[in-house]
């Protein structure tokens, strides 16, 4: 099952692109193609309500031990 991770909505002037920094986060994988497919931003849509770019690289290779457990841990994340 594929889940959308982030949708970079914005109510700003759509001519201004904002960079949202989610680098060094654990995505459950390090494959950039798969990570990008789960992000809806101006890289993969022409929707004017999504004027932002999500920076996800580099991805962490393992979760931070201080991160709380995922309440959907029984749901596949691939």
- Cα 49 from Cα 8, distance rounded (Å): 8
Distance of CA 75 to the CA centre of its chain: 18
pLDDT in tens, 20-76: 899 998 888 899 999 988 888 888 877 777 778 889 999 999 988 888 877 766 655
DSSP conformation class of 13 = -
Q: For the chain, which residues make up each domain, given as ranges?
A: 1-62
For the segment 65-77, what is each residue's pLDDT rounded down to a tens digit? 888 877 766 655 5
pLDDT of residue 28: 87
Give start and end residues of each alpha helix (H) in the chain: 32-37
Is the pTM above the cut of 0.75? no
**pLDDT score recorded for residue 11:** 57
Token digits of residue 43 = 């890289």
């Amino acid at each position: 099952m594929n889940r959308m991770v982030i949708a970079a909505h914005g109510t700003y002037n759509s001519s201004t692109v904002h960079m949202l920094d989610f680098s060094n986060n654990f995505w459950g994988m390090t494959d950039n193609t798969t990570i990008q497919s789960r992000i809806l931003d101006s890289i993969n849509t022409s929707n004017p309500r999504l004027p932002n770019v999500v920076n996800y690289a580099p991805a962490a290779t393992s979760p931070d031990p201080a991160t709380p457990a995922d309440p959907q841990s029984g749901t596949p994340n691939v």
